Amino acid sequence: MPIITLIVTLAVVGLILWLINNYLPMDGKIKQILNVVVVIIVILWLLSVFGLIPGLSSMRVG
């Protein structure tokens, strides 16, 4: 995956998270949980992109 795609994807995710945090009225605890979940998902995605963990599509349940 090209580095430009990574940067654009991270920028879009950050912008969407910023918009949600600023313009959607939510309790502070819910915003904090949402932020943590998004950060964990982005970190897992980045690890998968760089090949440090196997891709999520190759995992099987059961």
Amino acid making up residue 42: V
The percentage of the chain sitting over the pLDDT mark of 90, rounded to a whole number, equals 69
Structure tokens at 52: 């440090």
Other C-beta atoms lying within 10 Å of the C-beta of residue 10: 13
Task: Give the separation between CA 20 and CA 37, rounded to whole angstroms.
Answer: 14
Question: Mean pLDDT, the chain, as a whole number?
Answer: 89
Distances (CA, A) of 51 to 2, 12, 56: 14, 22, 11
Q: Is the pLDDT of residue 51 over 90?
A: no
Instruction: State pLDDT tens for residues 14-41.
Output: 999 999 999 999 999 999 999 999 999 9
Its sign, for the CA torsion 48, 53, 58, 60, is negative
pLDDT recorded at residue 59: 64
pLDDT recorded at residue 40: 95
pTM score, whole prediction: 0.79
Q: Position of tokens 């196997």?
A: 54
